[in-house]
Chains A and B, each alone.
Chain A
Amino acid sequence: MRLAPVFAAVTRRTFVMFKSYSFNSISSLVTMYLVFCLMFFGAKAIGGPVLSSAQTLEAMVVGYFVWLLAVYSYSDLSWDITNEAQVGTLEQLYLSPVGYKWISCFVLVSNAILVYSLNIVFLLLMMVTTGKFLRLDLISLVPILVITVAGVYGIGYMLGGLALVYKRIQAFFQVMQFVLVAFLLAPVDRYVWAKLLPLAMGNHLAAEVMVRGKHLWQLPPADLLYLTASSAFYLALGLAVFTRCEKAAKKVGLLGQY
């Protein structure tokens, strides 16, 4: 089975749908931007000298950027599954001989191409707004972000699996957004367990690159190992949970229901 035509078909569909719902997509980014402005200027005004220090504010920009990537990444698949089940196309995707896991992977990649492009624009906008120009060393940054987001996709697959069985899990999304903020703020330099949380190590290393100007090869190998191992673990766990939920949904005949 050739994967290229399947990827091309899914990507084209994603782009056309994005165009079709462009108002919604753009407005959600504008909302995120306004929330960021409120947070940034609020922190600057009332946070005192500690919070207003240059590095803290820069770290805040990085944190918000990583959080934004994470929010889009984890919610993408579950939104897609919920939506496909609602409109009635989910079963058709399951009839593709490549298997739904590949389809979902292509959905995530094609969405990522769109959303991440917009997020880069968003990041530039944040930098212009705040006057904090971060170092965008893509050679160092892209691998860190890709590995970080892979772990978040694991969470996405877990939620996607739950969406297959329970259909409406939007309430869980809201909670998850705050949980992700907690992960971002985890004290990775003090506790080993914090390094194993999703997002935490990725955010820390991204800040090292973007704020402190370090290159990938200057980062502690142990930290990179923690990042890779924890992301691989969450991705594998997510896929396992998704597979189990898929089986449960097929056993009870839930794929076509909403």
Chain B
Amino acid sequence: MLEVSGLTKVFPGRKPVTAVNGITFKVDAGEVVGLLGPNGAGKTTTIKCILGLVRPTAGQVSINGFDQRTHYRQLLRQVAAVLEGSRNIYWRLTVMENVLLFAGLHGISRREARPYAEHLLESFHLMERKDAEVRSLSSGMKQKTAVACALAKRTPLVFLDEPTVGLDVETSYDLRRVLRDLAAGEGRTFVISSHDMHVIQDVCGRVVIISGGRIIANNTVEDLLSLFRTRSYNFTLAGTLDGTLTEGLARAFPQATVAARGGQTLVTARLSHGGQLYELIDVLRLSGAVIESVSQVEPDLERAYLELVRQGRETA
């Protein structure tokens, strides 16, 4: 579907700035890939280089076999994008006029575009406001209209740059639901750039992390999480803090933390190997603690991402 090879962008000037530095990755048809990275990492420049809105200094881009340099028009037929959220649409036009306009810009007549446009507006709960001017809508509705405009082009590949920025929880969830449905139901391919880890973790199957213009990780969400899965456990004990327990833990597990929570005690310990779990339980048993629950601390994408970016900066 999408192949990016050695993509490099150096912005000219007295002090040239290398925004993207030899990025190479592939996205298969039907995949939903997240593009993560800190501010200024080169995510948006990468997307704009792929779309040809910014001329790459070096590298190759092809979408569905159409090379950007030799078949740019054909490449554009394969792709749609939301780049600046609701700024990408016409606020003086109505919701439906916008959706039909952007379909029209992709060569789809109003008659052909209307049924799918209505389907999209239904999915985004915008049908009741279809005849309202965009400027009169809430920011969440504007954002959803912008995404609907990109989707109405019915391209196999869609780029969404920060699609949930500024959205409330409900609207963000709504958008994620539609994207999941479209990816599953229509087999569309999405590349989503976002700082919102919930969106990435919820919608994307794979994550490409960019830092300093380079790719520092390109893996499935599950594999990335497993890299940071530790043997950390939370024990919830009945009753309040006990001196014997604190001393016992300090001797055997100096890194363990003990905290009072309500009428209970919460012990968190990171173990170096599986056998230590039994030793920890022995310490708790000997101190007379009653274990109410045990759970393994699950890593989240945010922590994994932060750790990877930190490592990336150290090695750069």
Provide the B50-61 mask, 1 if CB < 8 A to any CB of A, else 0: 011111000000
B101 touches A256 (CB 8 A): no
Judge if A87 is at the interface, Cβ distance under 8 Å.
Answer: yes
Q: How many residues from B make CB contacts under 8 Å with A?
A: 40
- Residues of A contacting B: mostly: helix
Give the Cβ gap from B144 to chain A, nearest Cβ, in Å: 16
Select from chain B the residue with minimum beta-carbon distance to A16: B93
Select from chain B the residue with minimum beta-carbon distance to A254: B54
Provide the A52-68 mask, 1 if CB < 8 A to any CB of B, else 0: 00000000000000000
B109 touches A95 (CB 8 A): no
Closest 5 pairs between A and B when the two form their complex, measured CB to CB: A9-B104, A88-B87, A97-B76, A96-B105, A250-B55
Within A1-60, the residues touching B (CB, 8 Å) are: 1-6, 8-10, 12-13, 16-17, 20-21
Provide the A81-110 mask, 1 if CB < 8 A to any CB of B, else 0: 000000111011111111100010000000
A253 touches B107 (CB 8 A): no
Judge if B215 is at the interface, Cβ distance under 8 Å.
Answer: no
Interfacial residues, chain A to chain B (CB-CB below 8 A): 1-6, 8-10, 12-13, 16-17, 20-21, 87-89, 91-99, 103, 247, 250-253, 255-256
Q: Which residues of B contact A91 (CB under 8 A)?
A: 48, 53, 83-84, 88
B100 touches A95 (CB 8 A): no
- Given A8-B109, A17-B92, do A99 and B73 touch, yes or no (CB 8 Å)? yes
| Contact with A250, one of B54, B88, B104 (Cβ below 8 angstroms) | B54
- 12 residue pairs bridging A and B, Cβ less than 8 Å apart: A1-B77, A3-B107, A5-B104, A8-B104, A12-B104, A88-B87, A95-B51, A95-B76, A95-B81, A253-B45, A253-B48, A256-B83
| Contact with A92, one of B77, B91, B102, B103 (Cβ below 8 angstroms) | B102
Cα(A97)–Cα(B78), bound, Å: 9
| Contact with B106, one of A4, A21, A97 (Cβ below 8 angstroms) | A97
Give the Cβ gap from A102 to chain B, nearest Cβ, in Å: 10
Q: Which residues of A contact B173 (CB under 8 A)?
A: none
Within B95-137, the residues touching A (CB, 8 Å) are: 97, 100-110, 112
Give the Cβ gap from B62 to chain A, nearest Cβ, in Å: 16
Give the Cβ gap from A24 to chain B, nearest Cβ, in Å: 12
Q: Which residues of A contact B200 (CB under 8 A)?
A: none
